[in-house]
């Protein structure tokens, strides 16, 4: 494979995926042969892909690599996608990033996230009740994997689900690698307009209860953040709030069902669910290449010089499947002693929602398999269709069935 791939450099993204939601095989090839590998995005822009865990950690913590992607000519996957929105913590570097993130970080601490658990359980029970009363087999994506993150995010952000559904149509265009650049740019403008409407509605409400959006509005009124930072960070919360959780929920269920022995252990001993969640998060990531950073000066790594202005991508699957850090990474094993922290990044941009993701998946998996302990795939695993044009790795359809007898 080495010589064949070598002739094709730069690699063309998106990559051919691995089976059943696993990483594209080319990531392993790059880690071995080209740890700093040229990759051409659908937009035609060339970036560098870093694929070893230690190198990824270095880039994520090195201030010479910036997350400011709002300038003209910044590396883009297709067009002016959500990385082009100014002011959000996604696109800010310290100290601005630190200042804005501080406004909302208290809503995503481990202690605060625990207060959301009963709410997640309530929405899960509602959806599973409807699933039990519906057809068997069922498609788990519209029945559970998609609506549960949406409902949870809507309640945390204190925004009606109907508003979130409107937004999701724009977001799915923003994150589609196969649509024309002008459609991506139009969807981004629609998201900005949508975000402005949400903010203005909340300002009119003047709600006493406070969630992340209200906290940002108050911070802007107090002069702690700018109007642009308010708009961009609210948009960021919509971006990260639900759709990225659909991926590990759906993909994780597939993997758990394919490892029935380990799944039975979790059903028998629910204390194992956090370990199962950790392994799902290591084994899968909701995206492949990761969002670009930009080198602010020339940086040389493994004899390759990334020039000032070059885009640099750090696929988290490169980190969590690195055999230098995870023994036999292709083996799904909930009893590993290592955790999945690397999937959430490192440095100032370590994922704000890491604790929320862990709690959400723990609750969602446990509720699903407590209600349907006999759940099984209703089609051969190789017949499951996977989303290929989106940033996120997930099944497009997930047919499941269960023994309808009493449990």
**pLDDT at residue 83, rounded to an integer:** 77
Read off the DSSP letter of residue 369: H
**pLDDT at residue 323, rounded to an integer:** 96
> Total structural domains in the chain?
1
Rounded CA separation 311/200 (Å):
35
**pLDDT at residue 6, rounded to an integer:** 64
Residue 132 lies in a domain: yes
Read off the DSSP letter of residue 312: E
Residue 407 lies in a domain: no
Residue 34 lies in a domain: yes
- CATH number of the domain that residue 34 is part of: 1.10.630.10
The whole-model pTM stands at 0.93
Residue 406 lies in a domain: no
Q: Which of 349, 351, 352, 347 has the alpha carbon at shortest distance from 62?
A: 347
Instruction: From first to last of the 407 residues of the chain, give the pLDDT tens digit.
Output: 555 666 779 999 989 889 999 999 999 999 999 999 999 998 899 999 999 999 999 999 999 999 998 888 899 888 787 777 888 888 899 999 999 999 999 999 999 999 999 999 999 999 999 999 999 999 999 999 999 999 999 999 998 877 777 777 777 777 777 778 888 888 888 888 888 989 998 998 876 668 999 999 999 999 999 999 999 999 888 877 778 899 999 999 999 999 999 999 999 999 999 999 999 999 998 888 988 999 999 999 999 999 999 999 999 999 999 999 999 999 999 999 999 999 999 999 999 999 999 999 999 999 999 999 999 999 999 999 998 767 788 999 999 999 987 65
Residue 120 lies in a domain: yes
**Planar angle of CA 36, 353, 364, nearest 5 degrees:** 110
Pairing verdict, β 293-295 and 304-306 = unpaired
Answer yes or no: are the C-beta atoms of 252 and 361 closer than 8 Å: yes
**pLDDT at residue 5, rounded to an integer:** 60
**pLDDT at residue 241, rounded to an integer:** 73
Residue 59 lies in a domain: yes
Q: What length is written for the chain? A: 407
**pLDDT at residue 73, rounded to an integer:** 87
Phi–psi pair at 353, nearest 5 degrees: -95, 20
User: Which are the contacts of 406, defined by CB distance < 8 A and separation ≥ 6?
Assistant: none
Residue 337 lies in a domain: yes
Pairing verdict, β 46-50 and 65-66 = unpaired
Residue 104 lies in a domain: yes
Question: Domain range spanning residue 313?
Answer: 2-401
């Amino acid at each position: 494979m080495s010589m064949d791939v070598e002739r094709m450099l730069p690699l063309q993204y998106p990559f051919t995926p691995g089976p059943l939601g696993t990483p594209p095989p080319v990531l392993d090839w790059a880690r071995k042969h080209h740890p700093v590998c040229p990759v051409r995005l659908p937009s035609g822009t060339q970036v560098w892909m870093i694929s070893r865990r230690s190198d990824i950690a270095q880039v994520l913590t090195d201030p010479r690599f910036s997350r400011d992607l709002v300038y003209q000519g910044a590396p883009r996957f297709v067009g002016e996608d959500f990385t082009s929105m100014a002011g959000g913590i996604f696109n800010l570097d310290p100290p601005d990033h630190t200042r804005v993130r501080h406004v909302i970080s208290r809503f995503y601490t481990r202690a605060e996230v625990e207060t959301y658990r009963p709410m997640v359980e309530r929405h899960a029970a509602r959806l599973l009740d409807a699933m039990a009363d519906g057809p068997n087999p069922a498609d788990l994506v519209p029945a559970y994997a998609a609506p549960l993150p949406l409902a949870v995010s809507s309640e945390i952000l204190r925004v009606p689900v109907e508003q979130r559904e409107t937004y999701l149509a724009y977001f799915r265009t923003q994150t589609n690698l196969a649509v024309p650049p002008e459609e991506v740019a139009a969807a981004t403008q629609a998201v900005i307009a949508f975000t402005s409407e949400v903010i203005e509605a909340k300002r009119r409400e003047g709600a006493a209860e406070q969630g992340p959006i209200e906290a940002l509005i108050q911070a802007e009124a107090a002069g702690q953040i700018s109007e642009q930072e308010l708009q961009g960070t609210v948009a960021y919360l919509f971006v990260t709030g639900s759709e990225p959780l659909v991926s590990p929920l759906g993909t994780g269920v597939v993997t758990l069902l394919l490892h029935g022995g380990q799944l039975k252990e979790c059903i028998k001993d629910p204390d194992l669910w956090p370990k199962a969640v950790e392994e799902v998060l290591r084994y899968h990531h909701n995206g492949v290449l990761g969002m670009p950073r930009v080198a602010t000066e020339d940086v040389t790594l493994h004899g390759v010089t990334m020039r000032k202005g070059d885009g640099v991508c750090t696929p988290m699957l490169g980190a969590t499947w690195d055999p230098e850090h995870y023994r036999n990474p292709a083996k799904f094993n909930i009893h590993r002693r290592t955790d999945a922290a690397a999937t959430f990044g490192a440095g100032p941009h370590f994922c704000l929602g890491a604790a929320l993701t862990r709690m959400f998946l723990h609750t969602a998996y446990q509720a699903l398999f407590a209600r349907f302990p006999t759940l099984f795939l209703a089609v051969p695993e190789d017949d499951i269709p996977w989303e290929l044009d989106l940033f996120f790795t997930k099944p497009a359809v997930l047919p499941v069935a269960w023994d309808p007898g009493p449990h």
